[in-house]
Amino acid sequence: MKTWIADTEPSERFPIYTRANADEVGPEPFTPLNWTLTWEQGMAPGTADAWIALGTFEPDEFLWTQPETYGSWGGYFYNQVSLGRVFGHRMPGATPDAIDISFFGQNSTVPPYVHDPRDDNEACSAKLGESFGAILGGAQEALAAKYLADAAKWRASRPDLATISDAALVEYGRTSARWQRPGWDAYAQVVIGATVGPQIVQGIADAVGKSELAIQIFGALGDVASAGMPERVWDLSRLVRGSAELTAAFDAGMDGLAERLAAEPTAAKFNSEFDELISMFGHRGVNEWEISAQTWLINPTLAYQMIDRVRRQEDAMSPTLRAGESAKRRQAAVEELTAAVAGDEATAGLLAAGISSGQIAYRLREAGKNATVMLMQEPKLAFRELGRRMHERGLLADPMHVFQILESELDSFIADPASFTEITAARHAQWLTLAELEPPYLVIRDRPIPPISEWPKRRRFAEGVGAAAGTQMKGIPGSQGAVTARTRVILDLADADSLEPGEILVCTTTDPSWVPLFMIASAVICEIGAQASHAVIVSRELGVPCVVSLAGASTSLPSGTLVELDGSTGTVKVIESV
């Protein structure tokens, strides 16, 4: 196989793409329907709309016939490097290098920024300055509130998918997937805007010689959507841990667990709270930006598995208790940094605005993400129902083969589904092979992309020689706190059960399905990531020390390595090697 049917044409204007922070969005290959419908017609143009609304770009700078804001090769999702660099060049007070670190962390494999005369645009720079001044004043709260209200209204419009026609299912699937365009317009504006406050605070902290305080100021904020889910999972795990009957039900395994719980008289409270969890977060699951992926609503066993893992943790490691300690450190950091600039009225005012804006922005960012993931469930449900029907009629070999159809083929599929039976089966077989491969980390327009048949097999376990005792490594500070403990390398969730309470989780990157491990681990190390990545935000809210962008951590810190980790400085020191 040389190429995949849904591969992107690299942009001439914005030619550099990376898997950095993309593998938490798309850890597995996207299906053709997901990319050509949801991303090409939803997220990609929505993100371009956001860049334009903020003033970074003018509309005619985008080639609207293809999604230049993101890319996909071999089914693997890629983030744009070039767009962020133009933003850094045009944004007053920013630089392309600073934006690289903010979005993608420390990565020496990405080529340095090279100035393009087209990057110069005084009008965009002026508008960006105005936009970010408004963000400091809280302008994005209204934008986010409108989007959250719209998302709830759109989801409530779902028809009875079991009774509508095949054509109506396709129409609802298309419509609901395209909700992502206005959704990502608002969400991406908030994500980009969320960089403003923290950068201001970091700059002031650096200037007064208290750099470590900046990260502490944005920890354990409370009311963050991404943390509300693990807190509920923790509470359910305590119900299991405190009940002999519930413990026995879980000890018997996942098969038949729902039935055993339904028949257990003492499980009434657990079942009620579990139903509430599904009602609020049933759209969460694995590979959340892929419309063929399962959610908790579709497969509740995924949620039961989370609870099963977390119940092993001791009560003293409650995320509420850990977050409480982190909140105390946050308040102390605010007071210390504020005192350090006392007497400088201008700097003190800027610091206060940066703290307020950053804390609000983190909450808005996660609320927006939760809403966009919630909307992803709508096309998932519509096309799953369509696939089920076609399989029952003998027109698809497997219900999931419906996701191997391109968006441009949907009308033809409805008109003559039998003509797609063999096509979708063959594509599905090819798609499965893609999941075993390691895609190129970078895609650059003027460099040939290796044929897919030459991509190496994906690494499923850590290889290499561990670092010697005394070695000190430096990543990006993610979440405050110091821990001395042994490492546990996990590169695949299939190995998640090997993590023991109190160990330091070492991984490549994370998505929401990894959250239970945060409640088991004493700290988290990610090879990839930046200060706005999933691992950082969740770690801060749960009070778990975290270091990201620590390249080679899975090989340098093999399981069993005793390390001393400081999440406030991003340092990891090997105390005892293995």
**DSSP of 275-335, one letter per residue?**
HHHHHHHTT-BSSTT-TTS-BTTT-THHHHHHHHHHTTS-GGG-HHHHHHHHHHHHHHHHH
> What percent of the chain shows pLDDT beyond 90?
69
**pLDDT single digits (tens) 434-461:** 999 999 999 999 998 999 999 999 876 6
Residue 214 parent element (H or E): helix 213-216
> Mean pLDDT lowest for which of 95-109, 122-136, 155-169, 292-306?
95-109
* pLDDT confidence tier of residue 107, bands split at 50, 70 and 90: low
- Report in angstroms the alpha-carbon separations of 538 from 7, 137, 398, 513, 517: 32, 26, 36, 12, 11
Q: Is the pLDDT of residue 551 over 70?
A: yes
Q: Is the pLDDT of residue 240 over 70?
A: yes
Q: What is the pLDDT of residue 165?
A: 98
Q: What is the pLDDT of residue 420?
A: 98
- 3-class secondary structure, 130: helix
Average pLDDT over residues 209-232: 77
* pLDDT confidence tier of residue 462, bands split at 50, 70 and 90: low
Q: Is the pLDDT of residue 183 over 90?
A: yes
DSSP state of 480: -
Cβ atoms of 460 and 555 within 8 Å: the answer is no
Average pLDDT over residues 568-572: 93
Q: Is the pLDDT of residue 98 over 90?
A: no
Q: What is the pLDDT of residue 461?
A: 61
* pLDDT confidence tier of residue 1, bands split at 50, 70 and 90: confident
Q: What average pLDDT does the structure give for the chain?
A: 91
What is the rounded CA–CA span in Å between residue 197 and residue 134?
12
Cβ atoms of 269 and 279 within 8 Å: the answer is no
**pLDDT single digits (tens) 302-360:** 999 989 989 988 888 888 888 888 888 889 999 999 999 999 999 999 999 999 888 88
Q: Is the pLDDT of residue 428 over 80?
A: yes
The residue that leads in pLDDT, 287 or 339, is 339
Q: Is the pLDDT of residue 247 over 90?
A: yes
The residue that leads in pLDDT, 248 or 99, is 248
Residue 171 parent element (H or E): helix 166-178
* pLDDT confidence tier of residue 374, bands split at 50, 70 and 90: very high
Q: Is the pLDDT of residue 292 over 60?
A: yes
Q: What is the reported pTM?
A: 0.89
What is the rounded CA–CA span in Å between residue 238 and residue 86?
49
Taking Cα atoms as reference points, which of 542, 549, 544, 550 lies closest to residue 574? Answer: 550
Q: What are 447's strand-pairing partners?
A: none
CATH number of 472-576: 3.50.30.10
Average pLDDT over residues 45-71: 94
Cβ atoms of 542 and 498 within 8 Å: the answer is no
* pLDDT confidence tier of residue 463, bands split at 50, 70 and 90: low
* pLDDT confidence tier of residue 430, bands split at 50, 70 and 90: very high
Q: What is the pLDDT of residue 460?
A: 63
Q: Is the pLDDT of residue 67 over 80?
A: no
DSSP state of 41: I
Residue 482: CB atoms within 10 Å? 13
> What percent of the chain shows pLDDT beyond 70?
97
What is the rounded CA–CA span in Å between residue 225 and residue 281?
10
* pLDDT confidence tier of residue 371, bands split at 50, 70 and 90: very high
Average pLDDT over residues 171-180: 98
What is the rounded CA–CA span in Å between residue 155 and residue 157?
5
Q: What is the pLDDT of residue 113?
A: 92
Q: What is the pLDDT of residue 70?
A: 96
What are the boundaries of each domain within the chain?
16-208+350-434, 472-576
**pLDDT single digits (tens) 26-48:** 889 999 999 999 999 999 999 99
Q: What is the pLDDT of residue 464?
A: 63
Q: What is the pLDDT of residue 321?
A: 84
Instruction: Give 508-528 as a DSSP string.
Output: S---GGGHHHHHH-SEEEESS
Burial (0-12, 13-18, 19+ Cβ within 10 Å), 213: buried
Q: Is the pLDDT of residue 109 over 80?
A: no
The residue that leads in pLDDT, 462 or 535, is 535
**pLDDT single digits (tens) 485-533:** 999 999 877 788 889 989 999 998 887 778 888 888 999 999 887 777 7
The residue that leads in pLDDT, 67 or 464, is 67
Q: What is the pLDDT of residue 222?
A: 66
CA atoms lying within 13 Å on the CB side of residue 14: 25
Would you state the structure tokens that stand for residue 331, as one six-digit string?
């308040």
